[in-house]
Amino acid sequence: MNKNLTAVLVVLLGFSWPATGSALGEALAWIPAAIEEPTVAFTDWAAIKAEAGVPWLTGQASLDVKTTFLRRIDQDHSAASAFGLFHLAAHAETWGFDSTDLVWEVQISGHGIPPSYVLKLREDLDLIAVLARFEERGFTRTAAHGGAIYSRAIDPSLDWVRTTELSIHNTGVLESERVLILSSSYPVVELVLATRAGDLPGLTEVDAATALAGVLEDSLSALVMIGASTCLHFSHNPMLDLIGAPVDDTAIDALRAWLDSEEPLHGYAGLGVGYCHDDGRPIGTIAFAYPSADDAVHDLEARRLLAEQGASRGAEAPISEVLFTVQDASVDDATIVMTVRPANDQPRRLFQMIWTADAPFAACR
């Protein structure tokens, strides 16, 4: 995204960013470091709307206009986190806001917690009217860590339950920052509010998260996975992954030589994937944050080889045909950074390969 346009949006939308200088950095500050092996899905809705030429779009627009926007998103963009998007037809009318009213959002998942959300609302949204919907529906309001939590038991018989995500049943609000925290787990909402209040450390105090936020700071949407076991999600034999894929003998020979070398492929502390637009086309970034710069340098060529010559298990075709092509790969401090071009200019393929663990280049051994 154009940095001058970004600066204008900051002023117009009325939010401030932390030292990382990005919406992603601001979002990570809300997420408790105490969450075990967290995966954070981030979407910068203000930036995506600006790129799509509709910065004015809000939940008050007609359904036809919003549906047209979503079709454009499906073609040229991708939202790693999209709260209530499947309920777009009724969400704004029922709750006073929808995804088009957000500046940014994150979805948090991790061991022992349900999918939970942090939503940054646009400055001119009527927050009082939004909160009135909770009061009208019998939610109990409890003060917590400088904010409040609206909660109630799940009752599937209520019509409004089918208009949004189950996480609405415990909704924290920090009115001064125009942020909602939503989870089907009340303790998770408390944990996020306590983190924002400074009572607990957030992910911006975790080295791997800070490194990835710096690399992905211009991303319109991104996925960040933190934890030493992250690489285990992707640990498959790349030779087996080539079965059924039309690759040439050179690629097979290169992979076989690497496998026979018994060289290790080190674990890393965090994995990040994001995309932005460059001259109207999506360009992706894949980053591996290591605890050691030596390990990052050691793994660079092997990970690049696997990314260039490996295959997608899901599509039974080369990564370069169905996921992305590698434009560049280098080490920045202790982080491997790959610049990639998504196949068919569809950035959603970058996120899908992470969700389905279809990324042999992200494995360790």
Task: Please write the tens of the pLDDT for every residue from 200-211.
Answer: 999 999 999 999
Residue 74 lies in a domain: yes
The answer on 237 and 192 residing in a single domain is: no
Please check the confidence at residue 341 and state whether its pLDDT lies above 90.
yes
Structure-block tokens of residue 316: 């039974």
Residue 1 lies in a domain: no
Residue 20 lies in a domain: no
Please check the confidence at residue 256 and state whether its pLDDT lies above 70.
no
Domain assignment of residue 192, given as a range: 42-200
Residue 2 lies in a domain: no
The answer on 279 and 142 residing in a single domain is: no
Number of domains in the chain: 2
The answer on 187 and 63 residing in a single domain is: yes
Average pLDDT over residues 229-253: 61
Residue 257 lies in a domain: yes
Last residue of a domain, one of 200, 217, 236: 200
The answer on 291 and 169 residing in a single domain is: no
Length of the chain equals 365
Average pLDDT over residues 240-254: 53
Q: What is the pLDDT of residue 311?
A: 86
CA 146 – CA 197 distance, rounded (Å): 7
Please check the confidence at residue 238 and state whether its pLDDT lies above 70.
no
The answer on 153 and 301 residing in a single domain is: no
Last residue of a domain, one of 200, 218, 247: 200
The answer on 59 and 195 residing in a single domain is: yes
pTM: 0.87
The answer on 346 and 255 residing in a single domain is: yes
Q: What is the pLDDT of residue 365?
A: 79
Residue 96 lies in a domain: yes
The answer on 241 and 146 residing in a single domain is: no
CA 238 – CA 8 distance, rounded (Å): 46
Residue 148 lies in a domain: yes
DSSP structure string for 228-279: TTGGGGG---HHHHTTT----HHHHHHHHHHHHHT------SEEEEEEEEET
The answer on 237 and 164 residing in a single domain is: no
Last residue of a domain, one of 147, 182, 200: 200
CB of 337 closer than 8 Å to CB of 326: no
User: pLDDT, tens digit, for every residue of 62-86?
Assistant: 999 999 998 888 888 999 999 998 8
User: pLDDT, tens digit, for every residue of 269-323?
Assistant: 999 999 999 988 999 999 999 999 999 999 999 999 999 988 888 888 899 999 9
Report the b/e string of 64-74 with b at 16+ CB within 10 A. eebeebbeebe
The answer on 334 and 242 residing in a single domain is: yes
Residue 234 lies in a domain: yes
Q: What is the pLDDT of residue 22?
A: 87
Closest Cα to residue 271, out of 232, 311, 325?
A: 232
CA 81 – CA 105 distance, rounded (Å): 7
Which helix (H) or strand (E) segment holds residue 25: the answer is helix 23-28
The answer on 321 and 238 residing in a single domain is: yes
CB atoms within 10 A of CB 22: 23
Q: Which residue has the tokens 């995966």?
A: 39
38 falls in which pLDDT band (50, 70, 90)?
Answer: very high
Mean pLDDT for all residues in the chain = 88
The answer on 350 and 252 residing in a single domain is: yes
CA 202 – CA 181 distance, rounded (Å): 15
Please check the confidence at residue 235 and state whether its pLDDT lies above 80.
no
